[in-house]
Amino acid sequence: MTDFIFPEGFLFGGAIAANQTEGAWNEGGRGLSNIDLIPHGANRQSVKLGKVPHPTLVPGEYYPSHTGIDFYHRYDEDIAMLAEMGLKVFRTSISWSRLFPNGDEMTPNSEGIAFYHKLFQACRKHNMELLVTLAHFDIPMYLVEHYQGWKNRQTIDFFVNFAETCFKEYGQYVKYWITFNEINVVLHSPFSGAGLYFEAHENKQQLLYQAAHHMLVASSKAVHAMREYAPSSQIGCMIAGGSFYPYSCDPEDVFKAMQDERNNTFFVDVQAKGKYPYYMDKFFEENGIVIEQTEDDIVSFKNTVDFVAFSYYASRTSIADISKVEANEGNIIVSAKNPYLNTSEWGWVIDPLGLRITMNHIYERFEKPLFVVENGLGAKDEIEADGSINDGYRIDYMKQHIQAMHAGIQDGVPLIGYISWGVIDLVSASTGEMSKRYGMIYVDKDNSGEGTLERRKKKSFEWYKQVIKDNGIVER
């Protein structure tokens, strides 16, 4: 029997995000956000991917973010349950349009400000540390429609104003900040990732990388602001992680895997090393992309992050010609199906060793402390006749990933903590479903929005509670 004990002070936690839980989309003075325009059902994909210019609310469509899991009204009872589980750290995000309904105001909406004071105080009352993401896939729709959102350099200033407000108001509670959730997702799911859509005449590639550049500048300026207004906190960047394996040892596949990896990690280069990596000049040139970059941008990039955070659900597999094999669309980035690995009910590859590999890849390249801020299994849960939910499959998944992560630490990778995604069931970002559940706390709501919203502990609740108590997995 082997135990897997983590270093003292290791932070086991749980994560949610404002856009997938809060609901109350038009309460408390909150403004419309890009996320509020992404319907459930057949039209979801085209809106998410930015293929629908100027999306609007369509009568008859169901928009899951409008109600979420009603966290806005139930946060107190939810935080109490998470405290009972013993979470050392709780991750959530601040809805930008709850603080700045249009995004271009200079002073924030006081009701929005008050909500996060109450939420963060509730967490601190239970001694939970906070990890707060400034933008988790959201941007006020007013900025998108009136300023072209991240396509426009002006959005940097609006974001920095939002960030400064957060640091001044909540720096007293929050130990860890992240500027953008999975910043690399902007390239793969532009509207859901960052509120970007494209008109038929627009050069999508050019606009995507220019928008990403603006987000990177905004991130570096937010780092600078945090050092001024919340100097005792730490701040990190975040990507959707998962190393790229070559499909075969054909050098063409190996080369493709290298390129795919670079398209993910250049975001970390800028945020953690302070500049674009050498190969991006060639990439931009070959793809006819011209990044408008000022001297001030280059200076700003010197504000590098304290830690590198990443989500890990799956590894990816790269092949030079994807038309030759079956594709795997799990977790946003399309890659080839890996014949050696099983997948979840939603086709996401399950690869615990991939977490150890990813940790080592990121650390050897950036040499900053790492933080696993999302991991988990999206699965359908059944309520038994006696009311219990026996999610042994979720326990198995987490166990294997925690063990692999432990091995990564033994390899020498400094890891601040492990945060389980969707610790309370929430709306799926990719599909808008409720039935794709990650939680250790069940929420009674279905894919069409029906349900009592009652919370119920799953079997994994007690299991994770014990893991946190033992600071690792102790085989009994």
- List interacting residues with ligand BG6 (CB under 6 A): 17, 20, 181-182, 240, 311, 374, 378, 421, 428-430, 436
Which residues does 71 contact at the CB level (< 8 Å), separation at least 6? Answer: 16, 21, 22, 23, 78, 424
Distance of CA 382 to the CA centre of its chain: 27
Q: Is 325 buried (19+), middle (13-18) or exposed (0-12) by CB count in 10 A?
A: middle
Shortest reach from residue 101's CB to ligand BG6, in Å: 22
Select which of 22, 129, 164, 182 is catalytic. Answer: 182
Sequence length of the chain is 476
CB 145 within 8 A of CB 190: no
Distance of CA 326 to the CA centre of its chain: 27
Give the separation between CA 52 and CA 198, rounded to whole angstroms: 7
Give the separation between CA 348 and CA 401, rounded to whole angstroms: 14
Shortest reach from residue 447's CB to ligand BG6, in Å: 13
Shortest reach from residue 293's CB to ligand BG6, in Å: 28
Shortest reach from residue 182's CB to ligand BG6, in Å: 5
Which residues does 203 contact at the CB level (< 8 Å), separation at least 6? Answer: none
- The answer to whether residue 182 is catalytic is yes
Q: Report the DSSP pairing between strands 441-443 and 455-457.
A: antiparallel
- The answer to whether residue 326 is catalytic is no
Q: Which residue is nearest to ligand BG6 (CB)?
A: 430
Select which of 374, 382, 384, 433 is catalytic. Answer: 374
Give the nearer residue to ligand BG6 in terms of CB position, either 190 or 246: 190
Shortest reach from residue 53's CB to ligand BG6, in Å: 24
Give the nearer residue to ligand BG6 in terms of CB position, either 97 or 161: 97
- The angle at the Cα of 122, spanning 118 to 124, to the nearest 5 degrees, equals 115
Give the nearer residue to ligand BG6 in terms of CB position, either 182 or 269: 182
Residue 293: CB atoms within 10 A of its CB come to 13
CA-wise closest residue to 374 among 393, 355, 389 = 355
Residue 259: helix, strand or coil by DSSP? helix
Shortest reach from residue 185's CB to ligand BG6, in Å: 7
Give the nearer residue to ligand BG6 in terms of CB position, either 92 or 430: 430
Give the nearer residue to ligand BG6 in terms of CB position, either 17 or 423: 17
Residue numbers annotated as active site? 182, 374
